[in-house]
Amino acid sequence: MKNKFIVVLLVVAVIVSVTGIWAYNMFCGPAVEERFTVVLRVDESYEEMTAKVKSSIAYPVAFDLYAKRINLDRGIEPGKYTFTEGMTVVDVARTLKFGVDNAVRLTINNARTPEILAGKISRQIEADSTALIGALRSEELINELGFDSAEAMFSIFIPNTYEVYSDIAPEALIRRLKRESDNYWAQSARQAQLERLGLTPYEVMTLASIVHEETNAADEMARVAGVYVNRLRMGMPLQADPTLKYAAGDFSIKRVLDKHKTIDSPYNTYMYAGLPPTPIAMPDMTAIEGVLGYEEHDYLYFCARPEMDGRHNFARTLREHNNNAAAYHRALDRLNVR
């Protein structure tokens, strides 16, 4: 009888010991195998927030138990959280309750409209696209920053990656982007480029938006910009097809026709000489740099190549250009592009 009692005690001791080790490992053992980051948004529920975290850690049940013990559901804050290798369930839960890294890296590049830009930004910070559009189209903010339209304002932002707080207000973000733009243009190297061009920063962004829409070939952008610079200096209309698409409100147009050239709009650069009143899109950095470092040459014309490879043939004379254009239009006809 005594031996049986000792055996039971030993079994209980082993169970308690194993359970203790198991519980210790669950709560105090490494739960994060590989560094990860989550962004918890203000419009998400507690369950949605914690689900993002639990999907990347070991012992999610232990996490729920400890989170309940520290009342995490009452104290979790939206923001950006980074968890490093070796963190325990306790570390993870306490980080969510007491420590938040609210900075995010916001990347903006090109966009054709304020609405598209707002959509890109809203996927990276807490503000939704409706609030961002409201700020981009706020007459008060537009006037404060010295513009006359949303299209003029959003188009001057410099494509880059910026570190901002995830809960930054839309108006504050736009003011920040304007300061970044001002700082970009204030650099001495940029001032020298502007002097060489004879254009203002706003005019550079306007021309860059056209260059951006004209070609996807990065190594062509400086040459395309050079054509337009030559035309501007001669007082020759730019005759840029993307401005006709903008005037028509339809960038899906595949073939610019004579009817498009009759649209009476200040953006019709066949009808009106000089730059259009605003950029026609937010250009990417390659296009901006292409304009700032424009190629000096004597080309006055360019036309898409009949190979349809996204590149262009350049010409010095109208006769040469007409030959290039005829070859391109024959290619469009073969492909039945109307």
Sequence letter at residue 139: E
User: Rounded CA gap, 293 and 275, in Å?
Assistant: 18
Checking if the pLDDT of 11 tops 60, the result is no
131 pLDDT exceeds 70?
Answer: yes
Hey, what amino acid is at 263? I
Q: Quick one: pLDDT at residue 26?
A: 67
pLDDT for the residue numbered 211: 97
pLDDT, mean of residues 280-287: 94
How do residues 132-179 score in pLDDT, each as one tens digit?
999 999 999 999 999 999 999 988 899 999 988 777 889 999 999 999
Return phi, psi of residue 36, to 5°.
-150, 160
Q: Is 143 exposed, middle or buried (0-12, 13-18, 19+ CB in 10 A)?
A: exposed
Q: Is the model more confident about 253 or about 166?
A: 253
**70 token code pair:** 């520290």
For residue 135 the two structure tokens come to: 């700020």
Mind listing the pLDDT tens digit for each residue in 48-76?
999 999 999 989 999 999 999 989 988 78
Judge whether residue 5 has pLDDT over 70.
no
Rounded to whole angstroms, the Cα distance separating 291 from 221 reads: 7
Q: How far apart are CA 62 and CA 26, in angstroms?
A: 6
d(CA 24, CA 90): 11
**Above 80 in pLDDT, residue 15?**
no
Strands 36-40 and 79-83: antiparallel
Q: Does domain 22-98 bear CATH number 3.30.1490? A: yes
Residue type, 33: E
- Check pLDDT > 90 for residue 30: no
List the domain boundaries for the chain.
22-98, 103-186, 188-297
Which pLDDT score, from 0 to 100, does residue 102 have?
66
Q: Which two tokens stand for residue 46?
A: 């507690």
Using pLDDT thresholds of 50, 70 and 90, give the confidence band for residue 79: confident
**Whose CA is closest to 201, among 219, 218, 186, 213?**
186
Distance CA 52, CA 11 (A): 40
Percent of the chain's residues with pLDDT above 90? 61
206-229: pLDDT as tens digits: 999 999 999 989 999 999 999 999
Residue 161 sits at φ, ψ, to 5 deg, of: -110, 125
Q: Residue 101 — very low, low, confident or very high, per pLDDT cuts 50/70/90?
A: low
How far is Cα 203 from Cα 226, in angstroms, rounded to an integer?
Answer: 14
Q: What is the mean pLDDT of the chain?
A: 87
Of 203, 218, 210, the residue nearest 240 (C-alpha): 210
Contact in structure between 209 and 283 (CB atoms under 8 Å): yes
16 — pLDDT class (breaks 50, 70, 90):
very low
